[in-house]
Structure 1
Amino acid sequence: MGDQCVFCSILSGGLPSVKVAEDATTYAFMDINPATEGHLLVIPKRHSKDLLEIPGDDLTAVTLAAQRIAKAVIGELGADGVNLLNCCGSDAWQTEFHFHLHVIPRYRDRSKDRLQLPWQPGIRGDAHTLSALGGRLAAALK
């Protein structure tokens, strides 16, 4: 997958990156198309296409690394909050098909933060639909 995958190419040294953190399982680097100041990505070193494919141990390692980095963006960069974002599938905005978590520092200062929500939180869903979909998913998970 290395030649076809941008992130595998970064890991192999074929493409440059600004490394933030690395351990035996994960690699974190600055996003070259940042939504906010300090926006970065955390990836597993072992290639997995997306959230549906990544082994649990790699997902755990990436999530724990993202949490550690989120604490640093609050403390070091003075962010007012942090979003963790994963996009799974092209219809969910995934553009690089190597699992990754975006660690996105959030700022009240809009000059540092151009990210806006794509939906409006606080608008309640239909109770019947929520119940029906929740029931279907609960049954599928048994």
Structure 2
Amino acid sequence: MEARRLAILCSHLRPINSGHSRAPPSHLSSSNCASVAKSEQVIYDPHKGSLQDGCVFCRIILGEEPAFKLYEDDSCLCILDTRPLSNGHSLIIPKSHYSSLEATPPSVIAAMCSKVPLISNAIMKSTGSDSFNLLVNNGVAAGQVIFHLETIRLTFT
């Protein structure tokens, strides 16, 4: 059943321009991002290597860390969460490293938010749900390690 849901989910998303298709890894590793000064930003440059040492999202963007990609463009990447709260739990992460919502330019936030309808509709359609939560943890007390958006399908038992 999970494989079918994942196949349906992926069929509703724009293909990723990676040049090859890859099956999801059997085990996706996870770690926390390194702490970064609030004003620090590292722009992605494929010729310079790492975005931010120790940041799992930067490592995913560089292809150094496994992730199941749902969507990708020049500004952001959407992946399935490695520790999902429900089927289809996904993360929308910027392709540049920002330490918080306040440090992220409005244009980047807008680009990320513009992907929410695409991702959430695909997740709801593939899981048979009609509701989801959009979550932004901002700040250490809120549980945020590095800025990203989460879409979480609601489940009622």
TM-score normalized by the length of structure 1: 0.71
Q: Could you say what secondary structure the match of 1:27 adopts?
A: strand
Q: Could you say what secondary structure the match of 1:59 adopts?
A: helix
Measure how far apart 1:37 and its partner are: 0.9
The answer to whether the 8 A contact 1:26-1:61 is kept is: yes
Show the counterpart of 1:40.
Answer: 90
> Using the alignment, how far apart are the partners of 2:81 and 2:149 within structure 1?
11
> Using the alignment, how far apart are the partners of 1:102 and 1:55 within structure 2?
18
Q: Could you say what secondary structure the match of 1:70 adopts?
A: helix
Q: Percent identity over the alignment? A: 35
Show the counterpart of 1:59.
Answer: 109
Measure how far apart 1:27 and its partner are: 0.1
Show the counterpart of 2:155.
Answer: 107
Gaps of 5+ in 1: 111-142
Q: After TM superposition, list the pairs within 5 Å mapping 1:55-94 onto structure 2.
A: 55-94=105-144
**Structure 1 segments of 4+ aligned residues over 2 angstroms from their partners:** none
Measure how far apart 1:4 and its partner are: 2.1
Aligned AA (1:100): H
**2:64 equivalent to 1:14:** yes
> Using the alignment, how far apart are the partners of 1:93 and 1:38 within structure 2?
21
CA-to-aligned-CA distance 1:7-40 (integer Å, 9 cap, x gap): 0011011111000101111100010011111101
Q: Could you say what secondary structure the match of 1:88 adopts?
A: coil
**Larger Cα-atom Rg:** 1
CA RMSD across the alignment: 1.2
> Using the alignment, how far apart are the partners of 1:9 and 1:34 within structure 2?
20
Measure how far apart 1:93 and its partner are: 1.1
Measure how far apart 1:49 and its partner are: 1.1
Measure how far apart 1:41 and its partner are: 0.2
> Using the alignment, how far apart are the partners of 1:50 and 1:63 within structure 2?
15
